[in-house]
Structure 1
Amino acid sequence: MSTHTETALESFDADWQEWHTAHERHRAHPHGFLAVTHLHWLDSSARRLDGVPGTWSAVDDAVRIVLEAGESLQRDGQELNTGSGATIELGSIEERGGINLASGDTVIEVAKRGGEYIVRPRNPENALLREYQGTPAYSPDAAYAVRGTFVPFEAPRPTTVGAAVEGIRHVYEAPGEIRFKLAGRELALTAFNGHAPGSLAVLFTDQTSGKTTYAANRSLSVVPAADGSVELDFNRAINLPCAYTDLATCPLPPAENRLPVAIEAGEKIPYERQDPK
Structure 2
Amino acid sequence: MALPDTFASSTDSVSSDWATWHEARERSTSSPFGLASLAATHWLTAVPEQLDSVPGLWHAGLDGIVSEGSELNGLTILQGGRPVGAVTDNTVTLMSGQDIEWGDRRLRFFERDGALALRVLDPEAPTRTQLRGIEVFEPDPALVLEGSFSPSAPNSRLEITAIDGHVSEDLPAGVIAVPFPDGAIETLTVTAERGGLHAVFGDETNGTETYGFRFIDMPAPDADGHVTVDFNRAYLPPCAFADFYVCPLPPAGNRLSRPIRAGEKNVRLEQ
**Range class of TM-score, shorter chain:** 0.7 to 0.9
TM-score (norm 1): 0.85
For 1:249 and 1:44, locate their aligned partners in 2 and report how far apart those are by CA, in whole Å: 21
Q: Which residue of 1 aligns with 2:49?
A: 47
Give yes or no for the alignment of 1:249 onto 2:246: yes
**Partner Cα separation in structure 1 for residue 153 and residue 113 of structure 2:** 27
Deviation at 1:140, TM superposition (A): 0.7
Q: Distance in 2 between matches of 1:234 and 1:28?
A: 23
- 1:173 and 2:171 are equivalent in the alignment: yes
Deviation string 1:197-235 (CA, Å, 9 cap, x unpaired) is x211011001111111111x2011011223221100001
Deviation at 1:78, TM superposition (A): 4.1
CA shift for structure 1 position 75: 1.7
* Alignment match, 2:93: 89
Post-superposition offset of 1:156: 5.3
Question: Which amino acid in structure 1 is aligned with residue 121 of structure 2?
Answer: R
Equivalent residue runs for 1:83-162 within 5 Å: 83=89, 86-90=90-94, 93=96, 98-155=97-154, 157-162=156-161
SS of equivalent residue, structure 2 residue 132: coil
Q: Residue 3 of structure 1 aligns with which residue?
A: none
Question: Hey, what's the Cα distance between the residues in 1 that align with 2:45 and 2:225?
Answer: 44
Aligned CA distance change for structure 1 residues 263 and 105 (closer, same or farther; 3 Å) = same
Tell me the alpha carbon deviations over residues 17-54 of structure 1, each in whole angstroms, 9 at most, x when there is no partner: 12111111111121112111111110122112235321
Gaps of 5+ in 1: 1-7
1:31 matched to which residue of 2? 33
Q: 1:126 to 1:242 in 2, by over 3 A?
A: same
Which secondary structure does the structure 2 equivalent of 1:134 belong to? strand
CA contact (8 A) 1:155 1:175 kept: no
- Residue deviations 1:149-178 (CA, integer Å, cap 9, x gap): 111122152212111223x22322102111
- 8 A Cα contact 1:205 1:253, kept in partner: yes
Identify which of 204, 208, 213 aligns with 1:211.
208
Provide the C-alpha distance between the structure 2 equivalents of 1:156 and 1:137, rounded to a whole number of angstroms.
Answer: 38
CA distance in 1, matches of 2:112, 2:176: 27
In 2 relative to 1, CA 108–69 (structure 1 residues): closer, same or farther, beyond 3 Å?
closer
- Whole-angstrom CA distance in 1 between matches of 2:226 and 2:174: 13
Q: Which amino acid aligns with 1:120?
A: R
Secondary structure of the equivalent of 2:204? coil
Q: Which letter maps to 1:87?
A: T
Residue of structure 1 in register with 2:58 after alignment = 56
1:261-272 matches, cutoff 5 A: 261-272=258-269
Tell me if the contact between 1:114 and 1:169 (Cα under 8 Å) persists in the aligned partners: no
Instruction: Encode CA deviations 1:61-87: one digit per residue, 9 max, x unaligned.
Output: 63221021564432232444323xx33
TM-score normalised by the chain length of structure 2:
0.86
In 1, are the aligned partners of 2:39 and 2:242 still within 8 Å (CA)? no
- Equivalent in the alignment of 1:258: 255
| Equivalent residues, number | 256
User: Any conservation in 2 of the 1:51–1:121 contact (CA below 8 Å)?
Assistant: no
Q: Tell me the equivalent position of 1:5.
A: none
Q: CA deviation at 1:117?
A: 0.8
For residues 143 and 53 of structure 2, the distance between their equivalents in structure 1, rounded to whole angstroms, comes to 43
- Residues 71-121 of structure 1: CA deviation (Å, up to 9, x unaligned): 4432232444323xx332346x5xxxx432222221222111243111111
Which of 222, 233, 252 is residue 236 of structure 1 equivalent to?
233
Does the CA-based 8 Å contact 2:36-2:128 persist in structure 1? yes
Return the letter of the residue paired with 2:106. V
Letter in 2 for 1:82: T
Q: Secondary structure at the match of 1:17?
A: helix
